[in-house]
Amino acid sequence: MSGDFFEYTLVRDDRFEPIAVLIGGAEEDQLVQERGVITQLTSTGAAGDAVEIETGARTRSVALTFTWVGLIMEGAVAAAFLAPLRGRWQLLRAVALIGFCVTTYAVLPIAGFAVLLLTMGLAHAHRPGVRRAHAIAAAAILVWNAILAGLIL
């Protein structure tokens, strides 16, 4: 819950570089340097060795925001699918799942996982409009990720 995981991921994972640079304000040279420090630690470091990642306040804020928004969205999906909802209240499941997928995978370039989750939601839904909403969200995420891959990555 400290944001450390996303802070590390924003630095270490190349797929997140556009987010770290555009939103987090990180410098590309800084990211390359931090990756080098991490790579050196993982290849030559001993058990118990550690390095501190220097990302800056904006990147740290982005990481903390990702952490808390993710926790809230995932909690909403879990609550909606675990609750014994009946009738129209079942729509909350679709809203939570589609909301999670659209917000998460608009930023994370992992469209395949979003499509998998939305396909499972589609299979779970009984109303045609709800099924259509899952399919539209999956298609939108695929298109958006393709745009990101072509324009930013």
Last residue of a domain, one of 14, 42, 57: 57
Residue 11 is assigned to a structural domain of this protein: yes
Regarding whether 104 and 53 lie in a shared domain, the answer is no
Regarding whether 147 and 90 lie in a shared domain, the answer is yes
| Tokens standing for residue 23 | 């939103």
pLDDT in tens, 61-77: 988 999 999 999 999 99
pLDDT in tens, 121-134: 999 898 999 999 99
Residue 131 is assigned to a structural domain of this protein: yes
Residue 125 is assigned to a structural domain of this protein: yes
| Tokens standing for residue 113 | 């996982």
Residue 106 is assigned to a structural domain of this protein: yes
Q: Count CB neighbours of 84 within 10 A.
A: 5
Average pLDDT over residues 72-101: 94
At residue 9, the pLDDT reads: 80
Residue 129 is assigned to a structural domain of this protein: yes
| Tokens standing for residue 109 | 């370039």
Residue 65 is assigned to a structural domain of this protein: no
Q: How many domains does the chain have?
A: 2
Helix (H, G, I), strand (E, B) or coil at 42: helix
Q: How far apart are CA 27 and CA 3, in angstroms?
A: 19
Residue 42 is assigned to a structural domain of this protein: yes
Q: Cα dist. 125→26, 57, 128 in Å?
A: 42, 42, 8
At residue 152, the pLDDT reads: 54
Asked if 18 and 149 touch (Cβ cutoff 8 Å), the reply is no
pTM (whole model) above 0.85 = no
Last residue of a domain, one of 41, 57, 73: 57
Q: How far apart are CA 54 and CA 44, in angstroms?
A: 20
Regarding whether 90 and 46 lie in a shared domain, the answer is no
Q: Is the pLDDT of residue 97 over 70?
A: yes
At residue 48, the pLDDT reads: 67
Regarding whether 94 and 40 lie in a shared domain, the answer is no
Regarding whether 50 and 109 lie in a shared domain, the answer is no
Q: How does residue 16 score in pLDDT terms, banded at 50, 70 and 90? A: confident
pLDDT in tens, 99-123: 999 988 888 778 889 999 999 999 9
Average pLDDT over residues 11-32: 80
- Average pLDDT across the chain, whole number: 85
Regarding whether 147 and 87 lie in a shared domain, the answer is yes
Q: How does residue 89 score in pLDDT terms, banded at 50, 70 and 90? A: very high
Q: Which domain holds residue 18?
A: 4-57
Regarding whether 87 and 136 lie in a shared domain, the answer is yes
Residue 53 is assigned to a structural domain of this protein: yes
pLDDT in tens, 36-47: 777 777 777 666
Regarding whether 35 and 88 lie in a shared domain, the answer is no
